[in-house]
Amino acid sequence: MQLFDTHAHIGLIHEDQMEQLLVIQLAKRKSVAHIVSICNSLIDFEHVYENLKTASNVYHAVGVSPSEVANPGQNWEHRLQTFAKLERVIAIGEIGLDYYRNYGDKNSQVELFIHQLDIARSLQLPVIIHNREAGRDILDILKTRLSDKGGIFHCYSEDARYAMEALDLPVYFSFAGNITYKNVKHLQDTIVKLPLDRILIESESPFMVPMAYKGKRNKPAYLVETAQAVAEFRKMPLEEVAEALYQNSLRAFHLPANA
Is the pLDDT assigned to residue 258 strictly greater than 90?
no
> Rounded to an integer, what distance in angstroms lies between the CA atom of residue 81 and that of residue 230?
35
Say if residues 96 and 129 touch (Cβ distance below 8 Å). Answer: yes
Provide the percentage of residues in the chain whose pLDDT is more than 70.
100
Closest CA to 259 of 120, 56, 85: 56
pLDDT digits (tens, 9 = 90+) for 145-176: 999 999 999 999 999 999 999 999 999 999 99
pLDDT for 257 equals 84
What is the rounded average pLDDT of the residues 88-102?
95
Phi/psi region, residue 61 (left: phi>0; alpha: psi -120 to 50; beta: rest), is: beta
Q: 38 vs 8, 44, 46, 141, 197, CA distance in Å?
A: 6, 9, 11, 22, 23
pLDDT for 102 equals 80
Non-local (6+) Cβ contacts of 182 within 8 A are: none
pLDDT digits (tens, 9 = 90+) for 29-54: 999 999 999 999 999 999 999 999 99
How sure is the predictor about 104, in pLDDT bands with cuts at 50, 70 and 90? confident
pTM of the predicted model over 0.95 = yes
> Rounded to an integer, what distance in angstroms lies between the CA atom of residue 102 and that of residue 105?
8
Q: Which amino acid is at 207?
A: F
Residue-level length of the chain: 259
Helix (H) or strand (E) holding 152: strand 151-153
* CATH number given to 3-252: 3.20.20.140
Is the pLDDT assigned to residue 4 strictly greater than 90?
yes
Q: How many CB atoms lie within 10 A of CB 6?
A: 30
Helix (H) or strand (E) holding 25: helix 17-29
pLDDT digits (tens, 9 = 90+) for 197-216: 999 999 999 999 999 999 99
Which ranges constitute the DSSP H helices of 52-134?
76-83, 106-123
Average pLDDT, the chain: 96
Q: Which amino acid is at 155?
A: C
